[in-house]
Amino acid sequence: MTIQPLSESTEMYLKAMAELNQHETVAIGRLAGRLNVTAVSANEMVRRLSEQGLVKHTPYKGAALTKKGREAAGNVVRRQRLWECFLHDQLKIEWTQLYEYACSLEHATAPEVTEALAVFLGSPKTCPHGNPIPAADGSFTPLNGIPLSEVSVGQTVRVLAVNASAKEVIVHLHERGLLPGRKIKVTAAAPLQGPLTLQVENREVALGLHLAEFVIVEIHSK
């Protein structure tokens, strides 16, 4: 099983679901937004995906990946993140372009190539954005961190990963020094969903709460 090649579109739906929510249900609207299609189109596609047993759709509740779908999605993510490592470490491609370029390559990569690439790269555990690279069977342990948006004022944290796919978001975060490994102090939080004020490497940065959701951090012990 899991040997039939999936279309690029199918792979992107599965990946989007995995990125939005590993296990729980994903609202059709969010899926549509992430993939830049209308809700009607997303509905149609989810129907096709559930006919293929990749997704379980509960009307008015949302869609969830099945075991089969989760494995397939993990595999797509694996391919993307391995390519990101290659593009970054070997080809010296800009950090902000990695996601986009790897997002094309991921659909054109045979299993044998994927595994040879992993070996070539030394079986990296995370991509250049800090996200974990799933195993060959599609499984992986999510990061043990929380979104920056949930950190309370006064705390110091370390960036584990940047988990964004929209180019503008990636560029925005990059420009503000929000990269894996960086130490950050949350110095203020504006009311009414206003921006956070951060201390990033001796630099004061304002960051919208929504944008902070994409930054996964761990509390900086000591």
Partner DNA sequence: GGGAATAATAAGGGCAACCTTATCTTAATC
Partner DNA sequence: GATTAAGATAAGGTTGCCCTTATTATTCCC
115's enclosing H/E stretch is helix 111-120
Query: Where do we find the tokens 């961190």?
Result: 145
Residue 117 Cβ vs a copy of itself, minimum distance, rounded to whole Å: 6
Least distance to a copy of itself from the beta carbon of 13, Å?
Answer: 18
Find tokens 């110091």 and name the residue: 156
Exactly one of 38, 39, 40, 116 binds a copy of itself (CB under 8 A); that residue is: 116
Rg over CA atoms, the chain: 18
Q: Minimum distance between the CB of residue 161 and a copy of itself, rounded to whole angstroms?
A: 23
Whole-angstrom CA distances from 87 to 48, 82, 92, 96, 162 are 33, 9, 6, 11, 17
Question: Residue 102 corresponds to which tokens in the numbers above?
Answer: 């790897």
Q: Which two tokens stand for residue 54?
A: 């990749």
> Does 103 help bind Mn ion (rule: CB under 5 A)?
yes
Give the binding site for DNA (CB under 7 A): 7-10, 13, 27-30, 35-41, 43-48, 57, 59-62
Q: Is 10 in the site for a copy of itself (CB under 8 A)?
A: no
Q: Which is nearer to DNA, 47 or 220 (CB)?
A: 47
Q: Which of 213, 216, 177 is nearest to 193 (CA)?
A: 213
Quick one: which of 39, 40, 113, 153 contacts a copy of itself (CB under 8 A)? 113
The SS3 assignment for 222 reads: coil
Interaction site with a copy of itself (CB under 8 A): 87, 90-93, 97, 100-101, 104-105, 107-110, 112-113, 116-117, 119-120
